[in-house]
Amino acid sequence: MKHKSLKLALLGTTLVATSALAEDVTITIESWRNDDLTLWQDQIIPAFEAANPGIKVQFTPSAPAEYNAVLNSKLDAGSAGDLITCRPFDASLALYEAGHLTDLSGVEAMSNFSDVAKSAWQTDDGAVSFCVPMASVIHGFIYNKDAFNELGIDVPTTEDEFFAALDKIKEDGTYIPIAMGTNDQWEAATMGYNNIGPNYWKGEEGRQALIKGEQKLTDEAWTAPYATLARWGEYMGDGYEAQTYPDSQNIFTLGRAAIYPAGSWEISGFNTQADFQMGAFKPPVRNAGDTCYISDHTDIGIGMNAATENPEAAETFLAWVASPEFAEIFGNALPGFFPLSSTPVELQDPLAKEIVGWRDECESTIRSTYQILSRGTPNLENETWGASVAAIKGAKSPEELGAELQEGLASWYAPHQ
């Protein structure tokens, strides 16, 4: 009897002791990736919590289009989460300069990333890093393999082959050649202009020259992609002017279209929705044998809210995000978001593997308008959306568009004045 009560008493004290030790800290992550909610909840967060008992993580995403506005309001009001998912370049730089993001340069795990990977979340002089790079997305084209086999089309590698393939698909009439619309505007710029463009302006070479003011948006390298886009219009579906982004996704996954100008982030969605074989090809080069360039865009990072009440827990999480373990989980949980960590990660998804393989064959660059050039008014990125749509609709000539964009950029950007 006595023994039993002693045992119970001992058990009781241990329970009290452990619960006192495990005073759980909860950290919250702000994000715009509401599509990934289940992946975070089922895979990423449990893996972290298993490795770091005592820290609980909450992933609280908002809608992508509203994220920046919501986040800014929350930060100003002091109600934002401990960890902030970072948009690349100026949006996050502004947050750092306003004192909302912590300087992470001293965090040891940052050495797992190359300078290019870190460039999207650094001050202009590269001295301070304020977000841990998580992933990049690669642009190209996803195609319906069954449709290509049925029509006997080979995967195009040059632009001539690309348009020959489109002609063949259009002539046959079973499939809409290109699944894209202009209603939401951004696809035309992101999956159109910045997808095919790097082959024209030679990736980083042209992009850097534009930033330095050595090239202008009126140069052939920057207007020619609009001329190519103008040819897309006739291959897009009926009423593409009012076709939205989700419309395009659905048309493609329902098997009604042959080619989808894509960002790699589509992979996981397409895998679950499409019941046909998919393949991917990189943006076709202008002439056979040209060096190929791809847009391998640093897209997601994660930083620490300077006002967090749990800096240790947040830092633990960031160090884990920088580790190869996270890269492995993340890269495979979200095929199409390619980890930026220097340690190579083995991807399982065939489509993702195919796309990430382009990194070995082609030169990588990022979207032309993202670094520095979209700082002023008018905003070059927003203007590029409108210009790409106008090019596809044939509303304006490539030269007119180039002149307009150049005028807007020159109005505030000193190297172009």
**126, 329 Cβ separation under 8 angstroms:** no
Q: Which of the ranges 105-113, 235-243, 261-269, 315-323 carries the binding residues for other proteins, by CB under 8 A?
A: 235-243
User: Are 252 and 270 within 8 A, CB to CB?
Assistant: yes
Q: Which of residues 178-197 bind other proteins (CB under 8 A)?
A: 181-186
**What is the smallest separation between the CB atom of 280 and other proteins, expressed in angstroms?**
24
175's tokens: 């499939």
How many CB atoms are closer than 10 A to CB 179? 29
Retrieve residue 311's tokens. Answer: 């800096």
Choose which of 293, 408, 409, 416 interacts with other proteins (CB under 8 A). Answer: 408
Chain CA centroid to CA 108, Å: 25
Which among 47-55, 126-134, 351-359, 376-384 is the span making contact with other proteins, rule CB under 8 A?
Answer: 376-384
Window 74-113: contact mask with other proteins (x via CB under 8 A) = ---------------xxx--x--xx---------------
Contact window for other proteins (CB under 8 A) among 32-40, 138-146, 351-359, 369-377 = 369-377
CB of 12 to other proteins, least distance (A): 51
Beta strands in 97-201 (DSSP E): 132-144, 176-178
Q: Which residues pair with 303 in a beta bridge?
A: 84
Widest distance between CA atoms in the chain: 95
Single residue of 135, 347, 390, 401 touching other proteins by CB under 8 A: 390
Q: Which one of 102, 199, 316, 369 is in contact with other proteins (CB under 8 A)?
A: 369
**What span, in angstroms and rounded, lies between the C-alpha atoms of 16 and 409?**
65
Tell me the window of 29-37, 231-239, 318-326, 337-345 that interacts with other proteins (CB under 8 A): 231-239
CB of 183 to other proteins, least distance (A): 5
Work out which of 138, 251, 285, 319 binds other proteins, going by CB under 8 A.
Answer: 251
The answer to whether the beta carbons of residues 207 and 395 sit under 8 Å apart is: no
Region from 124-132, 140-148, 202-210, 382-390 binding other proteins, contact rule CB under 8 A:
382-390
For tokens 């505030």, what's the residue? 412
Give just the sign of the alpha carbon dihedral 353, 354, 356, 360. positive
Please measure the distance between the N-terminal and C-terminal CA atoms of the chain and give it in whole angstroms: 92
Residue number with CB closer to other proteins (184 or 349): 184
Decide if residue 395 touches other proteins (CB under 8 A): yes
**Contact call for residue 406 and other proteins (CB under 8 A):** no
The helix (H) or strand (E) run that includes residue 61 is strand 55-61
Does 239 contact other proteins by CB under 8 A? yes
Q: What's 301's DSSP letter?
A: E
Answer left, alpha or beta for residue 313, where phi above 0 means left and psi between -120 and 50 means alpha.
alpha
Query: What is the amino acid identity at position 198?
Result: P
Contact residues for other proteins (CB under 8 A)?
65, 68-69, 72-73, 89-91, 94, 97-98, 181-186, 237-244, 247, 251, 369-370, 374, 377-379, 381-382, 385-386, 389-390, 395, 408, 411
